[in-house]
A and B are shown apart, each in its own frame.
Chain A
Amino acid sequence: MRNQRAFSATFRVLMAAAFSIILAATVLLLFAEDFRSALWQFFVEPFSSRYFFGNYIADTVPLIISGIGVSIAFRSKNFNLGGEGQIYAGALAGGVLALHAPEAFGPGTVWILVAFIGAFIGAIIGTISGLLKAYWRISEMISSYLISAIIINISDFFITGPLQDSTSNFQTTAQIPSVFLLPRIFSPSKLDISIWLALFLVLFFHILSKKSKMGFELRVCGENEEFARYCGISVRAYNIAAMAISGGMYGLSGALLVIGPQGRVMRGFSSGLGWSAISVALLAQGRETAILPAALFIAFLKAGSDHVMIGSGVPSEIISMLQATAMLFITAQVMPKLWQRQRQ
């Protein structure tokens, strides 16, 4: 009976995915100049060369890392909507460190420091929302979103002000020294070694959630707060921890982007990533292992539509609408289930 239910949940998600793909095809039919080549660009091109495929996989890395953080927070019924700002702040902190680190440190140390500082900054920002919720019952959704809006503006100020690269025409910081960039593993694409970290984190959080006391207590908190109190679990501590973890993962993925594919902190480079990570977590329905296929699917939607946009002249607004509608399908399938669970 239990398997049957898990199957039907998976089936619904697959249905949603199929729907969004059918929708994509229909829209392409309406707007593309050449429907057949647009179809090819959407479905096949992302896989057609080492370069495209590598870039597609590289795009999944931040989705996996941020998505796993959001997913862990979901487990305890905490919704971190501040991903946009947390990614940005983590990226900026990591970027500044990489720009100013002395060469003597060696690349390995710098990578670890950058990853650490990015995660740390993200976690601090997440923790603020966690504290606000734990001590003043301020909704973590609203506080994380608003704090993120502030952080984005502050970061913009630094990038376009004190940290602006005066030799560049873009609003960006200076280029990070190439020794400090993560080595690429699938040339000529931008895919770098951070994919290994992403896979490790999925495994790590999967084991943490299934086997550890902390994961167990986190699940109990998310399931029923009053029951958690009855068992003597500090709901407050887990509210804070969940927000810190998801904030930390967001910050980490931002920092890795900067020393990876991006190579510098451009204004607004992470725009939309925070929301995509939430989609990934929603799609995975709180199962850590499902984060991988979910991230692959969301990144595929983006990669496919980017190819169509460039190749077939479909306006980017149409593409954005397409992505939004696909997300609507998926959330419409997933949210009722989450609500049902909450009601019980």
Chain B
Amino acid sequence: MLPMLAVRMQGICRRYYPRGVHANDGASLEVEKGSIHAIVGENGAGKTTLMKILAGLDLPDEGSIEIEGRLVKIESPSKAQALGIGMVQQHFLIFDELSAAENIFFGIEPIRNNKISRLAGIVDSQELNTRAQQLATEYGFAIDPSAPAASLSIGARQQIEILRQLARHAKILILDEPSSVLTEQETRVLFEKLSDIRRLGHTIILVTHKIHEVMQIADRVTIMRQGRTIGTYDISATTLQKLTSLIMGEGSIEEKQEPIEKSQIDKSKIERSQKNPLVLGVDGMTVRRPRYYGIGLSDISFEVHAGEILGICALSGNGLDDLENALAAFQSPSFGTFIFDGHHIEPHNYRRYQSLFQKGLIAYLPSDRIKRGLASSLSVRDNFIALSRHDFFPKGWILENAAQQAILDAIRSFEINALPDQPAGELSGGNIQKLAIARLFSRDFPKLFILCEPTWSLDIRSAEQTCRRIRLAKEEGTAILLLSSNIDEILELSDHIMVLSRGRRVLYQKNSSLLNRAIIGEYLLGNRIHG
């Protein structure tokens, strides 16, 4: 007999307008009752969207959902709750002013049993605390119901979120990246609790991109890529390596990876030709963040020399955004020294670093093209001249002909599908990207390029062209920092490679044939560390 299915989702499509991005493109999911089911995939694979649809937080454009064999429509979170589905989101929704018990029973508080209280909705706080205590004991959580939520640790807050769903009789519990804000110990405690909850007959769906955790706790795993379901596997019948390559989308799973000997990778062996002068050296950069907002960066050091490309790779939430902000003069690091072209820059004189961008010594391509790289209702021409406006407003007044000529040249040589007077927000993602690249590469090469996700949303030909331009800049003696989550790009372009995981440097070495997607993937996922 087939095992009972708790959840069966089929052909789920969710398109985000106006850009028409498919977050889910025919995704499917089958979860057995009473199991811990992991959903893994790279960023933007559509895991969270699929779960939001299951929890009634988002509506699918197409597709069907069955809960315990019954076809259902989940059009709201309260409908999901009625069906016994509860989701703990990545960012906790906790009222700091309320107690733990009040947070757990928020909205379903027990009311005092007399007429007036029922009418006025007066909460029976004693009963509230008793029930919270009962619930906590039942599932083996150690929580003081009357403790103010503000005083609780992150781990305890997460337990409150879980209890909140259990108090609403959730039989199917969804957790989105539950370990992303937890320490190792807290993660271990969480996993023990999840096993206990499963033993009591609940079904747990775990969204994550950490495969070693999946191997540790899950019974089955579904892999998603680009909005589609790649496959579902029994954990007992698969390996870490196989999962890694499936997630990364490597074709040849069968290819056996030779384990690398430690002696083969030795960070002290980063060789350089003596001729190339140091352009940017970073020493001990640390970015501290309040724990809610990510993990920041700890003690990152690297060097990039003239005519060299250093590729820096990380999965989202692992510190790449903090690194980008610090390097691009958007947010001063908490500690650490930059040495740019002989200038020492510390957090206290970070402004000096910002001025280097104004002088055109450093040029930067932001990863968030829309938010940081575009004024969407200004024209394509205005967007194009914004960065080098000093050239187009030499005495404070615009040189219209020069600006028009410059944008026409850029449209032609970068093959941008746009008109100079069109509002830039009307362009497609790929053309916005081309515009951003044109803006940087139409000027003289700087001493240092900071390029984040340079081929994002470009078609193959434009991506190749962009890579050619990057190589050209390198040959002209520009030092290049390439921040990307695209491993192929990093492997293809970089002279040296650095990998960040959980805000730490886990790999820093010369690019060679010893490195490939699978190996980088393992560093990215935090399975290997070789600082």
A interface residue numbers (CB < 8 A to B): 2, 211-214, 216-217, 219-220, 223-224, 226-227, 229-232, 341, 344
Contact of B397 among A212, A219, A227, A344 (CB under 8 A): A212
Q: Are B382 and A224 in contact (CB under 8 A)?
A: no
Q: Are B373 and A211 in contact (CB under 8 A)?
A: no
B interface residue numbers (CB < 8 A to A): 330, 354, 357-358, 364, 366, 371-378, 382, 386-387, 389, 393, 396-398, 421-423, 425
**Residue among A211, A217, A219, A227 with max Cβ neighbours from chain B (10 Å):** A227
Do A231 and B387 form a contact, CB below 8 Å, given A220-B378, A226-B372, A344-B377? yes
Do A220 and B393 form a contact, CB below 8 Å, given A212-B398, A227-B386? no
Q: Closest 9 interchain pairs by CB?
A: A213-B393, A223-B375, A231-B386, A344-B376, A232-B358, A224-B375, A226-B372, A213-B396, A227-B375
On chain B, the residues within 8 Å of A227 by CB distance are: 371-375, 386
How near does chain A come to B451, taking the closest CB pair, in angstroms?
14
Q: Are A230 and B397 in contact (CB under 8 A)?
A: no
On chain A, the residues within 8 Å of B421 by CB distance are: 2
Contact of A216 among B377, B393, B423 (CB under 8 A): B393
Q: Are A230 and B372 in contact (CB under 8 A)?
A: yes
Cβ-closest chain B residue relative to A226: B372
Q: How far does the alpha carbon of A213 sit from the alpha carbon of B421 in the complex, in Å? A: 18
On chain B, the residues within 8 Å of A219 by CB distance are: 375, 378, 382
Do A2 and B372 form a contact, CB below 8 Å, given A213-B398, A223-B377, A231-B386? no
How near does chain A come to B367, taking the closest CB pair, in angstroms?
12
Known A2-B423, A216-B398; 6 more pairs at CB < 8 Å:
A211-B398, A214-B396, A223-B376, A226-B372, A230-B387, A232-B357
On chain A, the residues within 8 Å of B366 by CB distance are: 230
Q: Are B330 and A229 in contact (CB under 8 A)?
A: yes
Q: Are B364 and A230 in contact (CB under 8 A)?
A: yes
On chain B, the residues within 8 Å of A211 by CB distance are: 397-398
How near does chain A come to B285, taking the closest CB pair, in angstroms?
21
How near does chain A come to B494, taking the closest CB pair, in angstroms?
25
Q: Are B373 and A230 in contact (CB under 8 A)?
A: yes
Q: How far does the alpha carbon of A224 sit from the alpha carbon of B358 in the complex, in Å? A: 18
Q: How far does the alpha carbon of A60 sit from the alpha carbon of B336 in the complex, in Å? A: 59
On chain A, the residues within 8 Å of B393 by CB distance are: 212-213, 216
On chain B, the residues within 8 Å of A341 by CB distance are: 377
How near does chain B come to A229, taking the closest CB pair, in angstroms?
7
Do A224 and B397 form a contact, CB below 8 Å, given A216-B382, A231-B389? no
On chain B, the residues within 8 Å of A226 by CB distance are: 371-372
How near does chain A come to B428, taking the closest CB pair, in angstroms?
15
On chain A, the residues within 8 Å of B389 by CB distance are: 213, 216-217, 231
Cβ-closest chain A residue relative to B377: A341
Q: How far does the alpha carbon of A2 sit from the alpha carbon of B381 in the complex, in Å? A: 15
On chain B, the residues within 8 Å of A223 by CB distance are: 375-378
Q: Can you sample 12 A-B contacts with CB below 8 Å?
A: A211-B397, A216-B386, A219-B375, A220-B375, A223-B377, A224-B375, A224-B376, A226-B371, A227-B386, A230-B366, A231-B387, A232-B358
How near does chain A come to B205, taking the closest CB pair, in angstroms?
32
On chain A, the residues within 8 Å of B358 by CB distance are: 232
Q: Are A212 and B396 in contact (CB under 8 A)?
A: yes
Q: How far does the alpha carbon of A99 sit from the alpha carbon of B220 in the complex, in Å? A: 88
On chain B, the residues within 8 Å of A230 by CB distance are: 364, 366, 372-373, 387
On chain A, the residues within 8 Å of B378 by CB distance are: 219-220, 223
Cβ-closest chain B residue relative to A229: B330
Cβ-closest chain A residue relative to B390: A213
On chain A, the residues within 8 Å of B372 by CB distance are: 226-227, 229-230
Q: How far does the alpha carbon of A226 sit from the alpha carbon of B366 in the complex, in Å? A: 11
Q: How far does the alpha carbon of A135 sit from the alpha carbon of B36 in the complex, in Å? A: 50
Cβ-closest chain A residue relative to B354: A232
Q: Are B330 and A224 in contact (CB under 8 A)?
A: no
Cβ-closest chain A residue relative to B364: A230
On chain A, the residues within 8 Å of B397 by CB distance are: 211-213
On chain A, the residues within 8 Å of B375 by CB distance are: 219-220, 223-224, 227
On chain B, the residues within 8 Å of A214 by CB distance are: 396
On chain A, the residues within 8 Å of B398 by CB distance are: 211-213, 216
Q: How far does the alpha carbon of A135 sit from the alpha carbon of B377 in the complex, in Å? A: 27
On chain A, the residues within 8 Å of B373 by CB distance are: 227, 230
How near does chain A come to B17, taking the closest CB pair, in angstroms?
13
Q: How far does the alpha carbon of A291 sit from the alpha carbon of B421 in the complex, in Å? A: 23
Q: How far does the alpha carbon of A226 sit from the alpha carbon of B69 in the complex, in Å? A: 49
Q: Are B371 and A224 in contact (CB under 8 A)?
A: yes
On chain A, the residues within 8 Å of B423 by CB distance are: 2
Do A220 and B396 form a contact, CB below 8 Å, given A2-B422, A229-B330, A344-B376? no
Q: How far does the alpha carbon of A211 sit from the alpha carbon of B422 in the complex, in Å? A: 18
Q: How far does the alpha carbon of A220 sit from the alpha carbon of B372 in the complex, in Å? A: 12
Cβ-closest chain A residue relative to B395: A213
Q: How far does the alpha carbon of A232 sit from the alpha carbon of B439 in the complex, in Å? A: 14
How near does chain A come to B101, taking the closest CB pair, in angstroms?
36
Q: How far does the alpha carbon of A239 sit from the alpha carbon of B106 in the complex, in Å? A: 42
How near does chain A come to B513, taking the closest CB pair, in angstroms?
38
Cβ-closest chain A residue relative to B366: A230
Q: Are A224 and B374 in contact (CB under 8 A)?
A: yes
Cβ-closest chain A residue relative to B383: A227
Q: How far does the alpha carbon of A261 sit from the alpha carbon of B170 in the complex, in Å? A: 74
Q: How far does the alpha carbon of A226 sit from the alpha carbon of B382 in the complex, in Å? A: 16
Q: How far does the alpha carbon of A226 sit from the alpha carbon of B328 in the complex, in Å? A: 12
On chain B, the residues within 8 Å of A213 by CB distance are: 389, 393, 396-398
Cβ-closest chain B residue relative to A231: B386
Q: How far does the alpha carbon of A226 sit from the alpha carbon of B369 in the complex, in Å? A: 11
Q: How far does the alpha carbon of A230 sit from the alpha carbon of B383 in the complex, in Å? A: 12
Cβ-closest chain A residue relative to B419: A2
**Residue among A211, A216, A226, A230 with max Cβ neighbours from chain B (10 Å):** A230
On chain B, the residues within 8 Å of A344 by CB distance are: 376-377, 425
**Residue among B357, B364, B393, B422 with max Cβ neighbours from chain A (10 Å):** B393
Q: How far does the alpha carbon of A312 sit from the alpha carbon of B487 in the complex, in Å? A: 79
Q: How far does the alpha carbon of A229 sit from the alpha carbon of B382 in the complex, in Å? A: 15
Q: How far does the alpha carbon of A23 sit from the alpha carbon of B397 in the complex, in Å? A: 46
On chain A, the residues within 8 Å of B364 by CB distance are: 230
How near does chain B come to A221, taking the closest CB pair, in angstroms?
9
How near does chain B come to A54, taking the closest CB pair, in angstroms?
37
Cβ-closest chain A residue relative to B376: A344
Q: How far does the alpha carbon of A230 sit from the alpha carbon of B374 in the complex, in Å? A: 10
Cβ-closest chain B residue relative to A221: B375
Q: How far does the alpha carbon of A230 sit from the alpha carbon of B325 in the complex, in Å? A: 11
Q: How far does the alpha carbon of A223 sit from the alpha carbon of B371 in the complex, in Å? A: 11
On chain A, the residues within 8 Å of B386 by CB distance are: 216, 220, 227, 231
Cβ-closest chain B residue relative to A340: B377
Q: How far does the alpha carbon of A43 sit from the alpha carbon of B371 in the complex, in Å? A: 48
How near does chain B come to A101, taking the closest CB pair, in angstroms?
35
On chain B, the residues within 8 Å of A212 by CB distance are: 393, 396-398
